[in-house]
């Protein structure tokens, strides 16, 4: 049996009438609230349309490109290894190696940066504030932007790619480490100081044991991220899988593009699972 | 280990032995871990070919000359002079009007990409949440789709779209839509899985169909959280959009590419600072909005 729900409170529905008298706004929104809702929606639509105009986003452009995109997608099947599966596998591992080096160097370099930005280690508020703002500003710079200038300055190949990964990660990791250091339990350090331990010993036996799990699990998380970054830096000449992909996109070898992309997706999946397992053991 | 007769005469020596044994084992474990990490690192250096990369003139000189070209040669006495005077701020930011124009395109790209991608993710997330969609095959299909959209590097997507739709902002918007659908789809569906199901039951009890259950049972309770994720993604997409221009997706990235093709590193730094500044301002606004949203949800 279904019950018809009247849209408006009418005389024959006592419950609705009661509800209407108790909480009128639950049955009928006040006019100004409904108007405000419509106004906001209209404003949003207007901004959206202006933005679309700014981008020359028209149906003609979209349908024109969609045809070409369909051709590309059709050319992707069946995926082909281009007769060099071992080489492609090697490039995947090379990309991973770039991520490993970039992550390890960035995590090491970010430690002093994080210490400088930690409030409980650097008590000078001006220095603390300045470093924090600096990190905040450069945290948003994507790896591709660093990669472009590193390739221009230091030539093609994996080294500028790794440098770009390091430059991207230092502000991000520095902020995380600074926060981790600020959350360190002071009592452990205090009890060490009571035993007469010096500054370095306090850092080694009081701060480090508390920091290490956080630090390692962040390393692993950034390794996952950097495997993706390492694939991106290649597009502007930073080596690794991105370089192979952009070469093949430029010559429209989409069957090989599909193969490499699938290979890469599998590799990312494997790395994510492995690092999740490692992280679960750490914490 | 403890002596059976209850005397404490031997226990101190025993403790000492046990302590040494543990210390040794601990050191062994550390040594093995250290060795493993060194092996991975050495292997990585070998694999990446980073060691083969030699630079003429040595790294120190190269880095020094790079930094020299990167930093603008500002002169204190001419800092506020006009564009033609070398050493002034205006000559460093010499193409500011055009960069601002390009920045506007980038912001529009990020906005349209986040709106459209967010809407697609919003619709698909209902099919990827295990509590709302009991069809396992369809759910897995949508989830794997999200995974693929997140994993394919955005720069690669941009290259493909740029060769299909010609170089320009359209390629960037399409890339952002795909990437946003992947990342927000995952976040949205995970958020939906934590929704209070009593409200869905209540709508169902009044005779509502699936669509009404979602509209009146799920959307009202989840909307603030989803919107806050959406705004966060807008912040991320702004920096992604700025970068994608480098591979032909329009906006401020094109100006970065132009500066590099003239090897004007100081111009590059100027544009980078402009991007970073814009992102910072817009992030601050969006952060306010997000706190407002989450605060609103708490009431």
A144 within 8 A of A131, measured Cβ to Cβ: no
The tokens of A59 are what?
Answer: 């149906």
Residues of A in contact with B170 (CB under 8 A): 55-57, 61-62, 65
Return the domain boundaries, chain A.
Answer: 27-75, 85-282
Among B36, B48, B100, pick the best mutation site for testing chain A contact (most A Cβ within 10 A). B48
Residues B279-287, mean pLDDT to the nearest whole number: 88
Look at residues A219, A203, A72 and name the one whose alpha carbon lies nearest to residue B164.
A72
Distance (Å, rounded) from C-alpha A46 to C-alpha A221?
Answer: 40
Within 8 A by CB and 6+ apart from B117, the residues are B176, B177, B178, B179, B180, B181, B184, B233
Closest-CA residue of chain B to A94: B48
Q: Characterise B166 by phi-psi region: left (phi > 0), alpha (psi -120 to 50), beta (else).
A: left
Position B73 pLDDT exceeds 50: yes
In this complex, the residue of A52, A68, A240 whose CB is nearest that of residue B164 is A68
Give the dihedral sign, CA A167/A170/A173/A176.
negative
Residue B269: CB atoms within 10 Å = 17
- Provide the whole-model pTM: 0.84
Distance (Å, rounded) from C-alpha B273 to C-alpha B6?
Answer: 74
- Above 0.85 for ipTM, yes or no? no
Q: From first to last of its 283 residues, what are the pLDDT tens digits of chain A? A: 445 454 554 555 677 777 777 777 777 777 888 888 899 999 999 999 999 888 888 888 888 888 888 888 888 888 888 778 888 999 999 999 999 999 999 999 998 888 888 877 777 788 888 888 888 888 889 999 999 999 988 888 888 999 999 999 999 999 888 888 888 888 888 888 888 888 888 888 888 888 888 888 888 889 999 999 999 999 998 888 999 999 999 898 899 999 999 999 999 999 989 988 888 887 6
Q: How far is CA A69 from CA A12, A77, B25, B35, B120, in A?
A: 60, 13, 60, 49, 19
Task: Given CATH 3.40.50.300, say whether it is the number of domain A85-282.
Answer: no
* Amino acid B2: pLDDT: 47
Chain A with chain B: Cβ pairs closer than 8 A? 191
Closest-CA residue of chain B to A63: B165
Closest-CA residue of chain A to B238: A140
């Amino acid at each position: 049996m279904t019950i018809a729900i009247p849209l408006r409170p009418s005389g024959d529905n006592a419950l609705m009438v009661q509800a209407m008298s108790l909480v009128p706004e639950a049955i009928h929104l006040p006019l100004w609230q409904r108007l405000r809702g419509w106004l906001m929606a209209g404003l949003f639509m207007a901004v959206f349309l202006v933005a679309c105009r700014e981008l020359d986003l028209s149906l003609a452009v979209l349908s024109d490109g969609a045809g070409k995109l369909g051709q590309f997608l059709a050319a992707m099947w069946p995926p082909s290894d281009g007769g060099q599966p071992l080489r492609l596998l090697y490039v995947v591992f090379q990309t991973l190696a770039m991520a490993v080096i970039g992550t390890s160097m960035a995590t090491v370099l970010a430690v002093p940066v994080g210490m400088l930005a930690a409030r409980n280690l650097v008590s000078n508020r001006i220095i603390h504030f300045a470093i924090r703002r600096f990190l905040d500003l450069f945290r948003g710079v994507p790896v591709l932007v660093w990669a472009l200038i590193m390739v221009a300055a230091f030539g093609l190949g994996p080294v500028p790619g790794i440098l770009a990964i390091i430059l991207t990660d230092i502000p991000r990791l520095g902020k995380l480490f600074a926060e981790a250091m600020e959350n360190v339990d002071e009592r452990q350090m205090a009890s060490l100081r009571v035993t007469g331990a010096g500054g370095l010993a306090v850092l080694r036996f009081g701060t480090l044991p508390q920091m290490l799990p956080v630090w390692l699990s962040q390393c692993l998380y950034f390794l996952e991220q950097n495997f993706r970054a390492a694939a991106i830096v290649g597009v502007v000449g930073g080596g690794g899988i991105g370089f192979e992909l952009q070469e093949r996109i430029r010559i429209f070898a989409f069957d090989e593009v599909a193969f490499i992309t699938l290979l890469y997706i599998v590799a990312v999946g494997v790395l994510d699972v492995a690092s999740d397992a490692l992280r679960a053991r750490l914490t | 280990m403890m002596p059976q007769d209850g005397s404490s005469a031997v226990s101190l020596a025993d403790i000492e032995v046990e302590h040494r044994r543990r210390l040794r084992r601990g050191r062994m474990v550390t040594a093995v871990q250290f060795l493993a990490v060194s092996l991975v690192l050495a292997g990585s250096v070998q694999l990446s070919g980073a060691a083969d990369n030699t630079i003429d003139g040595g790294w120190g000189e190269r880095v020094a000359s790079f930094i020299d070209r990167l930093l603008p040669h500002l002169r204190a006495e001419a800092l506020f002079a006009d564009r033609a005077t070398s050493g002034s701020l205006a000559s460093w930011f010499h193409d500011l009007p055009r960069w601002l124009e390009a920045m506007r395109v980038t912001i529009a790209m990020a906005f349209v990409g986040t709106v459209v991608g967010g809407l697609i993710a919003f619709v698909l997330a209902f099919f990827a949440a295990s509590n709302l969609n009991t069809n396992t095959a369809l759910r897995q299909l949508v989830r794997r789709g999200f995974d693929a959209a997140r994993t394919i590097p955005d720069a690669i997507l941009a290259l493909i779209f740029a060769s299909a739709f010609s170089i320009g902002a359209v390629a960037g918007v399409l890339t952002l839509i795909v990437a946003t659908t992947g990342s927000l789809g995952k976040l949205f569906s995970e958020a939906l899985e934590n929704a209070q199901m009593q409200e869905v039951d209540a709508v169902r009890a009044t005779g509502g169909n699936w669509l009404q259950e979602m509209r009146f049972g799920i959307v009202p309770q989840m909307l603030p959280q989803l919107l806050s994720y959406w705004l966060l993604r807008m912040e991320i997409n702004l920096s992604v959009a700025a970068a994608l221009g480098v591979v032909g997706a329009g906006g401020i990235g094109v100006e970065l590419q132009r500066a590099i093709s003239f090897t004007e590193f100081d111009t590059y730094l100027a544009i980078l600072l402009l991007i970073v500044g814009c992102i910072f301002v817009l992030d601050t606004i969006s952060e306010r909005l997000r706190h407002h949203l989450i605060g609103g949800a708490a009431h």
